[in-house]
Structure 1
Amino acid sequence: MGIYRDLILPKLCDLSMRNDRLRPYRERVIGGAEGRVLEIGCGSGLNLPFYRAAVREILALEPDPNLLAMARHVPDSGMQVNFIEASAEAIPLDDRSVDTVVTTWTLCTIPGSAAALSEMRRVLKPQGRLLFVEHGLSPDRGVRWWQDALTPIWRRISGGCHLNRPIRSMIEDAGFRIDRIETGYMRGPKPMTFMYEGSARPK
């Protein structure tokens, strides 16, 4: 789940998205988290240093034990972090038990993305928020053509990453109401750099 973001993305930075260019997205999205937070696909823990004092507890969910082992060695920020080795399609938490769900460049790789989003909605409190930054389907026809053409090959070399997932409609179809969304290209190859950043609440 976090493999593309944490291992492959930096190695392909010259071809797609530079990791240093991702920092402002992390700061904005993760900086908005509060209360009891569930991070989906925490990977090697790249997001952990960006959480702020409004966060009471971080539940760092990741299915890959090797990435979780790396995350455990991220310097201690003083916050309570509980690592959970599990899939987003079956989150081992009670209904309505978290205040914030965070997902950063993760929905592109989850095999059962609809099931995962349904699980995120289930564990969120009624007034909770889903905070997200993802790359996905472009509104431009020419770019979409390339995304569709490249995705079958790209998936094999990038940990299952799909270039062409329609992030906004995926979130809305899972029972969320979008509060805020900003879209646009990062610098880099357009098929890989169309970003969706925003927040949503359960309907």
Structure 2
Amino acid sequence: MRQRMKVIPLAAGNILEIRVGSGLNLPIYDKEKVTHLTAIDPSREIWQKNSIDVQNLPFEFAFTEAFAENIPEDNNQFDAVVITYALCTISDTKRALEEVRRVLKPNGKLIFCEHGKAPDKVTQQWQHSINPIWKRLGGGCHLNKDIPFIIQENGFKIKTLEKMYIPGWKPASFNYWGTAEVY
């Protein structure tokens, strides 16, 4: 939760959150900055496990069952797109980030917090060897995605980037977080 708290308050204006899951980020948004939040997730069942009273959020809110690879929103609509711990499970990250670029307003920003490829070779070897089993057990989660590379290779310029191991099982605990803008 601590990592999410570093990036979620950066979101301002009309926001899209990709793979909202059960809504863990909703209480972290800065009510003074957010005017509207649209949340998408491919699993209505996971969304329905949320414990947030969305009727009493301090900003307008809408949930849509949808995949990141096919965002059912208009072009140039959002000031920011938030993705936390979801790029690891999105199978077609290229298509998903094309969609993010499409729905972002000019000068909009991508706000992200993800786990991924570790910097040290020993942990990388563990990530690569465990990954085939892990992704089957973890709902498609990949331990070894190179998050900064994926973001930059898909039309974004990273503006801020922090990275570190957080407490936990080392193959799953190297985190990246920051912001990016469309080239």
Short-chain TM bin: over 0.9
**How far apart, in 2, do the equivalents of 1:123 and 1:148 lie?**
33
The answer to whether 1:182 aligns with 2:162 is: yes
The aligned counterpart of 2:177 is 197
The aligned counterpart of 1:59 is 38
Q: 1:38 aligns with which of 16, 28, 32?
A: 16
Amino acid at match of 1:79: F
RMSD: 1.0
Would you say how many aligned residue pairs link Structure 1 and Structure 2?
Answer: 180
**How far apart, in 2, do the equivalents of 1:64 and 1:189 lie?**
27
TM-score of the pair, normalised by structure 2: 0.95
Report the alpha carbon displacement of residue 24 of structure 1 after superposing the two structures with TM: 2.0
Q: 1:74 aligns with which of 32, 46, 52?
A: 52
The answer to whether 1:28 aligns with 2:9 is: no
**How far apart, in 2, do the equivalents of 1:87 and 1:179 lie?**
26
**How far apart, in 1, do the equivalents of 2:135 and 2:34 lie?**
34
The DSSP-based 3-state class of the residue aligned with 2:152 is: helix
TM-score of the pair, normalised by structure 1: 0.86
Q: Which runs of 5+ in 2 are unaligned?
A: none
**How far apart, in 2, do the equivalents of 1:192 and 1:28 lie?**
19
Report the alpha carbon displacement of residue 137 of structure 1 after superposing the two structures with TM: 0.5
- Find runs of 4+ consecutive structure 1 residues off by over 6 angstroms: none
**How far apart, in 1, do the equivalents of 2:97 and 2:173 lie?**
22
The answer to whether 1:90 aligns with 2:70 is: yes
The DSSP-based 3-state class of the residue aligned with 1:180 is: strand
User: Sequence identity of aligned pairs in percent?
Assistant: 43
**How far apart, in 1, do the equivalents of 2:98 and 2:27 lie?**
27
Report the alpha carbon displacement of residue 92 of structure 1 after superposing the two structures with TM: 0.7
Q: Which runs of 5+ in 1 are unaligned?
A: 1-22
Report the alpha carbon displacement of residue 98 of structure 1 after superposing the two structures with TM: 0.3
